[in-house]
Structure 1
Amino acid sequence: MTTIQQNLDTVRRQIAQSAQQCNRDPQQIQLIAVSKTKPVMAIQEAIDAGQRRFGENYVQEGVDKIQHFADSSFASQLEWHFIGPLQSNKTRLVAEHFDWMHTLDREKIAQRLSDQRPAGMPPLNVLIQINISDEQSKSGITLAELPVLAAQISTLPNIVFRGLMTIPAPEPDPERQIAVFRQMEQALDQLKADYPQVDTLSMGMTDDMAAAIRAGSTMVRIGTAIFGARDYSSATH
């Protein structure tokens, strides 16, 4: 058994335990393995261990990995999530290769993604990123800005508005973590009344996964606990 397989088994157990503690079905929570800066060999080990959903932060690096696995026998089973900040000059690559985009925060980006999505592909699933802790260094919009952007993007033909994503400020107190995540849960519940297709809450990483699950997360983005510490020296944007 590889270390990555052992790590995946541990993370899956933790997800199941966190879900059961708050009377949720573990099947409602999808694990996104954040593979940024990691080599294709590490992703292959995760695939061999049954993992099918991967998150990438850097456009070109992600596209290279998607293309590497495109001819594999399991390519159709893989799901690729773009989870990093996106500049408008990189939208075409995301539109042409990824299945999900988690970090939408501008109408211009949404319009470009819709325009550039190839005709033969299903619509791109998108999440609006909320800067829930109001950090200057973080991307995302405020909850007050959400209704306008949601209305703007929901009519675009080649993307599907699926929900919300956030990366809160680090918070060591689990109860405070939950309180922040609850704001996201409430916002998603409000959206569901107007947008029936909305069903996704992408929140929770290695250090706050349990709190996110307790507050209704449907996707957790886990990197270090699966792949180990990252080496950013060779990252390609």
Structure 2
Amino acid sequence: MSTPDHDLSNSLRDKFHAVQARIAAACVASGRSAGSVQLLAVSKTFSADNVRQVAACGQRDFGENYIQEGVDKIIALQGGDIQLVWHCIGPIQSNKTKLVAEHFDWAHTVDRLKIAQRLNDQRPAHLAPLNVCLQVNIDGGETKSGIAPVDVLALAAEVVKLPHLVLRGIMTIPDSVESFDAQVAVHAKACALFQEVKATLNLPQFDSLSMGMTGDLEAAVHAGSTMVRVGTAIFGGRTYPA
């Protein structure tokens, strides 16, 4: 007889492999090479044990939106046989930069120089530089965080000067649109901006275009995403505290 834990583990494994298959199929449909798109498993609101189960399937990169919750999981999962890579993909306020700088490997949501400077200054000397992406409000959504596209190049030019950060790319969370073509169109804007920054600043390490989630990963891959952030399709629906 199977146990609830065993059933959950099997369910997570099946969902994880289904997402991998979606990404692989999207790469084929877009004429891109297999493995050109990285999966970032978004584990917010789910337990360290859930992360451990997905990691057992081979996943190494995990994204957390809530910084303290993410730090708790990072600490809980330290010291194991599997080395995980942790990405902060939620808003970073000034009073949280120290936690991000000390515990995470990536920060995807840098949208102003003040936050970049604090992350740089608070990154411990014994750790590798923090990988960062600039969050861009690519479609001008009124409720969305992120820097305006027109200001990205200037911010990027300042961030690359910070010695304890490595500017790796840009991240976007556009508003939902229904059709595949409309999804591709907004993601294509981000891809064009990504290529412009990379070429203008001559940054070989600028290699990460973090865009696409459960509902639009195929369109994001078609437009050029190198990293899709998928949570619901792997871990299931979320229950948020009141």
Report the TM-score, using the length of structure 1 for normalisation: 0.96
Asked if residue 54 in structure 1 is aligned to residue 62 in structure 2, the reply is: yes
1:137 aligns with 2:148: no
**2:219 alignment counterpart:** 211
In the other structure, the counterpart of 1:102 is: 108
Letter matched to residue 141 of structure 2: E
From 23, 26, 38, the equivalent of 2:34 is: 26
Q: CA deviation at 1:142?
A: 1.0
Q: Give the secondary structure class of the aligned counterpart of 1:198.
A: coil
- Does 42-51 or 114-123 show the bigger shift? 42-51
SS at match of 1:205: coil
1:153 and 2:155 matched: no
The number of aligned residues is 232
SS in 1 for 2:191: helix
Provide the residue aligned with 1:126 in structure 2: 132
Contact 1:129 1:140 (8 Å CA) reproduced: yes
Answer yes or no: is 1:70 the counterpart of 2:78. yes
Distance 2:78 2:204 in 1: 32
Secondary structure of the corresponding residue to residue 28 of structure 1? coil
Tell me, which stretches of 5 or more residues in structure 2 are unaligned?
1-8
How far residue 59 of structure 1 moved from its aligned partner, in angstroms, is 0.7
Per-residue Cα deviation, 1:60-116 (whole angstroms, up to 9, x for no partner)? 000000000112121xx2100000001011000000000110000010000000000
Question: How many Å apart are 1:231 and its aligned residue?
Answer: 1.3
Deviation at 1:152, TM superposition (A): 1.1
Higher normalized contact order (CA 8 Å, seq sep 6+, divided by chain length)? 1
Compute the displacement of 1:196 (Å): 2.3
Deviation per residue, 1:22-63 (Å, 9 max, x gap): 111121111000000001121111011111110000110000
- 1:196 equivalent to 2:204? Answer yes
In 2, the alpha carbon distance for the partners of 1:32 and 1:147 equals: 25
Query: In the TM superposition, what is the alpha-carbon distance from 1:148 to its structure 2 partner?
Result: 1.0
Alignment of 1:113 onto 2:128: no
Q: Residue 174 of structure 1 is aligned with which of 180, 183, 187?
A: 180
Quick check: 1:2–1:45 contact (8 Å CA) kept in 2?
no
Is the 1:54–1:79 Cα contact (8 Å) retained in structure 2?
A: yes
User: How big is the shift at 1:120?
Assistant: 0.5
Identical residues among aligned pairs (%): 50
Could you tell me which runs of 5 or more consecutive residues in structure 1 were left unpaired when the two chains were aligned.
none
CA contact (8 A) 1:63 1:93 kept: yes
After superposition, what is the alpha-carbon deviation per residue over 1:199-234, rounded to whole angstroms, capped at 9, x for unaligned?
A: 110000000000000011000000000000011118
Q: Distance in 1 between matches of 2:103 and 2:209?
A: 22
